[in-house]
Amino acid sequence: MASTLHSQPLALEDKSLAHLLYGLMACFPLFLVPAALSLLINFYQPQHHPDSALAVHLRWQRWSLVGMFTIMLIGYLVSSQWLSTTLYVAAAVWFIGRVFKGWLSLIEGRNI
């Protein structure tokens, strides 16, 4: 019984938390506050079975947010204006691509 509970397909799991977090991540241009809130909510979620669809999406979201914030921090610390701007734009484009890919995978019921 316990093994079938952890191996549920994505269609049977509650996807509302993942949708909420992807929605917050998609609002990142608003001073990065929604993305930071999404990261905090994500970190404080109870641990799920590592192979469950929800756990896979939460891990994808965490790495997307941490990666974006890291690249933006590096862009902030760089003294050259053109390099800093390039890093900000690259981080935003990369992050938007990951949000779309993750959210579409969630809607289609696929793991990432």
Q: Rounded mean pLDDT of the chain?
A: 85
Domain map of the chain by residue range? Answer: 13-108
Structure tokens at 91: 């981080």
* pLDDT at residue 5, rounded to an integer: 43
Q: Which residues of 24-55 are buried (b: 16+ CB within 10 A; e: fewer)?
A: bbbebeeeeebbeebbeebeeeeebeeebbbb
- pTM, 2 dp: 0.79
Q: What is the DSSP secondary-structure string of 11-41?
A: GGS--HHHHHHHHHHHTTTTTTHHHHHHHHH
pLDDT at 111 over 60: yes
pLDDT for position 84: 96
Express each pLDDT in 4-43 by its tens digit.
444 445 556 778 889 999 998 888 777 778 888 998 998 8
Q: Is 70 exceeded by the pLDDT of residue 2?
A: no
Rounded to an integer, what distance in angstroms lies between the CA atom of residue 28 and that of residue 63?
A: 15
Share of the chain above pLDDT 70, in %: 88
